[in-house]
C-alpha cells in the first residue's frame, strides 16, 4: 500500500535531547504516520516494521484531531515503558498488525531540520 498525500511539515531536532522511544522517524500522512526511517540498534530496528509502513495508533490511541507534534509525543515516554503500535504493513497484501515492545532511552546528538514534502 503506497503512502500518499503527505502534509508538508518541518521538525527540528535539538542537541543532546533524550527521551524514551522506539527509534522511528515518521512523517505526517492523511490517516496516520508513515515510517520514513528506522534508527539502527533500537526496538524498531529489531522488529518487522519497515519504511513505508503506516502507523494508525499508539497504545490504542489514533491520531485524529492531533497535530503532528502531539502525534509524535505519543511515542515518547519513560525508558522501559511498554508501547503498542497498530500499523498497516506496506507489503504486497496490506494488513493491520500490532507491534509490542518497550521504549529505550534515545539521545539525539545533533541539530538538524527535516522537511517532509507533499
Give pLDDT tens digits for 13-32: 444 567 788 888 899 877 89
8 A C-beta contact, residue 114 and residue 11: yes
DSSP string across 10-23: EEEEPTTEEEEE--
Q: Which three cell numbers stand for residue 44?
A: 524498531
Distance CA 55, CA 98 (A): 10
Nearest one of 61, 55, 49, 58 to 91, comparing CA atoms: 49
Give pLDDT tens digits for 39-70: 888 899 998 899 999 999 999 999 999 999 99
Nearest one of 76, 64, 55 to 3, comparing CA atoms: 55
Amino acid at each position: 500500500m503506497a503512502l500518499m498525500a503527505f502534509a508538508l511539515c518541518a521538525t527540528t531536532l535539538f542537541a543532546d535531547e533524550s527521551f524514551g522511544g522506539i527509534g522511528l522517524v515518521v512523517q505526517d500522512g492523511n490517516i496516520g504516520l508513515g515510517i520514513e526511517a528506522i534508527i539502527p540498534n533500537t526496538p524498531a530496528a529489531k522488529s518487522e516494521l519497515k519504511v513505508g509502513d503506516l502507523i494508525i495508533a499508539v497504545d490504542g490511541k489514533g491520531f485524529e484531531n492531533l497535530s503532528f507534534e502531539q502525534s509524535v509525543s505519543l511515542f515518547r515516554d519513560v525508558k522501559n515503558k511498554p508501547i503498542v503500535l497498530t500499523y498497516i504493513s506496506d507489503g504486497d497484501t496490506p494488513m493491520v498488525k500490532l507491534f509490542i515492545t518497550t521504549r529505550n532511552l534515545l539521545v539525539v546528538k545533533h541539530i538538524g531540520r527535516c522537511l517532509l514534502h507533499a
